[in-house]
Amino acid sequence: MSSIQRENFLARLYVDSDARANFKANPRAEAKKAGLSEDQCAALEKLDWIGLEMAARSFAKKRQLKRRPSWFAAFQRRLSRLRFLRFLE
């Protein structure tokens, strides 16, 4: 199968804790279910579990920080509202 399928499978493992747990319980079956080849399934069975968990936590933290505006952006937004209110008077 294609490397795109493998990359999609790995991306799902990084972001979905349930998929990660299922994969950890039975790596070959989950990889087969995703449509990966025998060689890819065998390679994924040798995956570094600690590295996978660390990467998943890191990506989750980055997604969380991306959603939250910085204190400076929040301050600028509040300041712009105050300026707008001043012109209404």
Separation CA 82–CA 79 (nearest Å): 5
What's the mean pLDDT in 21-28? Answer: 93
Q: Do the Cβ atoms of 17 and 4 come closer than 8 Å?
A: no
Tens digits of per-residue pLDDT, 43-72?
999 999 999 999 999 999 988 877 777 778
Q: Do the Cβ atoms of 10 and 47 come closer than 8 Å?
A: no
Separation CA 42–CA 27 (nearest Å): 9
Residue 83's pLDDT is: 62
In this model, does residue 6 exceed pLDDT 70?
Answer: yes
